């Protein structure tokens, strides 16, 4: 991918090294005090404290580190990230992400009237969003409530080492997929699907979230199509990288890897074949009107 030297987005909220809602050297997060006290003084809280204390006595672990892990969602407990110094490689990936985001802005500003550009939050460890706090283990996500994308750059490394789905265009596809969720928010599709929760069976709700995910893949493809027509960042092999990533992060493949079984009812993102199909459809046509995964007879 020829991305170097291109415009980088200024819609970046760089929170790397801040470590999210954690008790660090910066002090205790007062927002956590209320809920924490509630938990501590509830019956379950008392039992938990008992378990922690007995456990720490028997096993010799520090109950506070466990507690802070629960509260902060991070693995580093009390450790603060103030010493965080990104490597040259991480800095390059940050520049890369800002460049891809800028390109999605160019494409979507040209495709949609009054496009609202989303913010990309870069974080390390854990982060708090209007959708709650999350750790890096969640993977990249989009929060419709604050219209921000959340990304820990270490996910790209995981894609390469754990999923064999590395490559810059594969990473660009991930960012474009999250931007796709932003497009869905703007178009009111996200709210429509979320309003079904509790109204339809879990199975049906699940099918709708799969369609939402496949549509985000389609939108990532539409971005790649138009990006290619204007900026021309793609090089040979790039499309394969994105398809390989779509293939690697399909629910069937991930499930097989973790449990050895495939349970279609629990899919939330679609199968590898479905993800590749919709990304490709968006990429080949670049036509927003063809992305109605909701009324597609077969996905
Ligand atoms: Zn998604």
Q: Where are the domains of the chain?
A: 12-16+86-290, 26-73
Positive or negative, the Cα torsion across 123, 129, 131, 135? positive
Residues 6+ apart with CB under 8 A from 145: 129, 130, 131
Please tell me the predicted confidence (pLDDT) of residue 247.
86
> Pairing state of beta strands 132-135 and 126-129?
antiparallel
Distance 213 CA to ligand 1 centre (A): 5
Distance 215 CA to ligand 1 centre (A): 9
Please tell me the predicted confidence (pLDDT) of residue 41.
60
119, 10 Cβ separation under 8 angstroms = no
> How many Cα atoms are found within 13 Å in the side-chain-facing hemisphere of 225?
20
Please tell me the predicted confidence (pLDDT) of residue 67.
46
DSSP 8-state secondary structure symbol assigned to residue 118 = P
Distance 222 CA to ligand 1 centre (A): 15
CA distance 50 to 6: 57
Please tell me the predicted confidence (pLDDT) of residue 251.
72
Radius of gyration of the chain (CA): 21
Ion ligand 1 — residues with CB under 5 Å?
Answer: 213, 216
Residues 6+ apart with CB under 8 A from 276: 243, 246, 247, 250
107, 230 Cβ separation under 8 angstroms = yes
To which residue do tokens 């497009």 refer?
183
Please tell me the predicted confidence (pLDDT) of residue 43.
56
Count the Cβ atoms, other than its own, within 10 Å of residue 288: 15
234, 165 Cβ separation under 8 angstroms = no
Distance 29 CA to ligand 1 centre (A): 30
Give residue 77's region: left, alpha or beta (phi > 0; psi -120 to 50). left
Q: Which two tokens stand for residue 183?
A: 């497009």
Residues 6+ apart with CB under 8 A from 49: 40
Please tell me the predicted confidence (pLDDT) of residue 26.
43
Distance 24 CA to ligand 1 centre (A): 31
Which stretches of the chain score pLDDT less than 50? 22-28, 51-79
Distance 178 CA to ligand 1 centre (A): 6
Distance 179 CA to ligand 1 centre (A): 9
Distance 254 CA to ligand 1 centre (A): 14
246, 176 Cβ separation under 8 angstroms = no
């Amino acid at each position: 991918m020829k991305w170097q030297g291109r415009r980088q987005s200024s819609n970046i909220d760089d929170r790397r090294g801040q470590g999210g809602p954690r008790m660090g050297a910066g002090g205790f997060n007062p927002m956590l005090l209320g809920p924490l006290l509630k938990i501590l003084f509830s019956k379950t809280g008392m039992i938990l404290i008992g378990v922690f204390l007995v456990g720490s006595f028997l096993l010799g672990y520090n109950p506070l580190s466990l507690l802070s892990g629960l509260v902060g969602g991070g693995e580093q407990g009390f450790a603060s990230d103030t010493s965080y110094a990104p490597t040259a490689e991480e800095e390059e990936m940050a520049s890369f992400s800002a460049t891809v985001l800028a390109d999605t802005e160019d494409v979507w500003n040209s495709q949609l009237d009054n496009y609202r550009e989303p913010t990309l939050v870069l974080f390390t460890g854990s982060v708090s969003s209007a959708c709650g706090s999350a750790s890096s283990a969640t993977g990249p996500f989009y929060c419709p409530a604050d219209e921000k994308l959340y990304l820990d750059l270490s996910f790209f490394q995981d894609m390469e080492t754990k999923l064999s789905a590395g490559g810059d265009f594969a990473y660009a596809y991930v960012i474009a997929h999250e931007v796709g969720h932003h497009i869905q928010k703007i178009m009111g599709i996200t709210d429509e699907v979320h309003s079904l929760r509790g109204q339809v069976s879990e199975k049906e709700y699940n099918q709708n979230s799969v369609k939402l995910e496949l549509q985000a893949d389609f939108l990532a493809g539409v971005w790649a199509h138009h990006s290619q027509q204007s900026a021309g960042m793609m090089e040979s092999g790039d499309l394969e990288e994105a398809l390989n990533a779509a293939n690697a992060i399909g629910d069937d493949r991930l499930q097989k890897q973790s449990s050895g079984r495939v349970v279609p009812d629990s899919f939330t993102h679609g199968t590898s074949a479905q993800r590749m199909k919709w990304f490709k459809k968006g990429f080949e046509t670049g036509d927003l009107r063809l992305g109605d995964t909701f009324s597609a007879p077969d996905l």
